[in-house]
Amino acid sequence: MSLVAVLVALAAIFVALALLSAGAVTMLVRRWPPTGASVLGRSTTWRAAILAAPAVVATLGCVALVSSAVLEQCHCSEHALHHPHLCLTHPFFAQPLLGPAIWIVSAWVLVVAGRVVALGRTVVESHRWMSTARLAPIHMVDGICVRIVECSSRTAFTIGTFAPLIVFDRTLWDELSEEQREAVVHHESGHATRRDGLTLLALRICQALFSLRAAPQLIEGWRAAAEARCDLYAAAKLGDAAAVAEALVAVARSRAEHSAIDAPTPAMAMGVGADGSLEQRVVALLNTAAGTKSRVALTNDVLAITLFAFAAAIGTWMWPGDSWHHGVETLVGFFV
């Protein structure tokens, strides 16, 4: 029972630290909005990291709490009980925290349950789209596999997390020239290589779990930056930024002409014409036309954040002495 108290208390502390961090992030975003004249000047990883910050901070806090006991450096006898102890060596110290922890975790579950269910429905919808797309005719464009589907919308998008698919609406496919198709396909190939579907899912999970008020703004900013990054990638692959800009305009024109009858793009998809920053993207492409042959790195944002969090957790765990451990325990003591 004592070990259960430790685990439940850790869960409650994770939730509390995450929500406090979410509040801090919201205030920082309001004070310094992460916007700019050019979406190309903004890192997608940085935008994703802001939204993932509550989860990372809460994880590091929990790592700090258990680090002393795991490293067999229990210090419970070295100071008085002026704050709670979460020690795996002496789990009975966590017993007084069990009641408040159950209330905190239960309240949090009730608050986020609706958002989690809604996200689950969106993921199921995405899976259905992928199941339909896998049965669609395949076209190869510069060695890239493209599914041609009747989407009821003039669009092209990438959908999926670990094995993303590139989907192209048949009507839009027929409307575009061969060069425009290549530009769109290379753009979507950038999303697939970056595994942007995985990053989007992770960001939506953070949004659902941590009630971050700035989440919609941050997600849209991330999407715009990701679209701009893939524009550059397509320009680099084709060696012609103007051709990519022309393709973007052609897609936008087709969508505008049929907006009244077009169905929406799936929520978990990264579409070539999904955001409203067309003018910025075209201007940015034309301004970088001279450098389109340079290599554009495509990094998965979730992987980058995970590696950073893992390194920070190791640093927290191996920090000399018990300063992190004692500091987090003291912080917890203020709220108990």
Residues 173 and 250 in one domain: yes
User: Is 211 in the same domain as 309?
Assistant: no
What is the pTM (predicted TM-score) of this model?
A: 0.86
Closest CA to 76 of 60, 92, 63: 92
Q: What angle do CA 134, 219, 59 make, to 5 degrees?
A: 100
Q: Are residues 257 and 315 in the same domain?
A: no
CA atoms within 13 A on the CB side of 176: 29
Predicted local distance difference test score (pLDDT) of residue 306: 93
In this structure, the answer to whether residues 62 and 205 fall within a common structural domain is no
The answer to whether residues 308 and 45 touch, using CB atoms and an 8 Å cutoff, is no
Q: Which domain holds residue 257?
A: 118-300
- Selection from 328, 306, 305, 304 nearest residue 316 by Cα: 328
User: What's the pLDDT score for residue 320?
Assistant: 57
| Residues 255, 318 within the same domain | no
b/e 221-251 (16+ beta carbons within 10 angstroms → b): bbbbbbbbbbbbbbbbbbebbebbbbbbbbb
Q: In what order do the strands lie in the sheet with 156-159?
A: 138-141, 144-149, 165-169, 156-159, 270-271
Q: How many structural domains compose the chain?
A: 2
Cα distance between residue 152 and residue 144, in whole Å? 23
Neighbours of 132 (CB within 10 A): 15
- 135 and 282 in a single domain? The answer is yes
Whether residue 151 is found in the same domain as residue 288 = yes
Q: How confident is the model at residue 83, as a pLDDT?
A: 58
Indicate if 8 and 156 belong to the same structural domain. no
What is the pLDDT tens value at each position of the chain, 336 positions in all?
Answer: 567 777 887 888 899 889 989 988 888 887 777 654 344 445 788 889 999 999 999 998 888 777 655 445 555 555 555 556 666 666 666 666 777 788 889 999 999 999 999 999 999 988 888 888 888 889 999 899 999 998 878 889 999 888 899 999 998 999 999 999 999 999 999 999 999 999 999 999 999 998 888 888 889 889 888 988 899 999 988 888 889 999 999 988 888 777 645 567 788 888 876 555 788 888 888 887 554 455 677 889 999 999 999 998 887 777 655 666 666 666 666 655
Alpha-carbon distance values, 35 to 22, 50, 153, 224, 319 (Å): 19, 13, 30, 11, 36
pLDDT at 34: 63
pLDDT score recorded for residue 81 = 56
Q: CA neighbours within 13 Å on the CB side: how many for 283?
A: 9
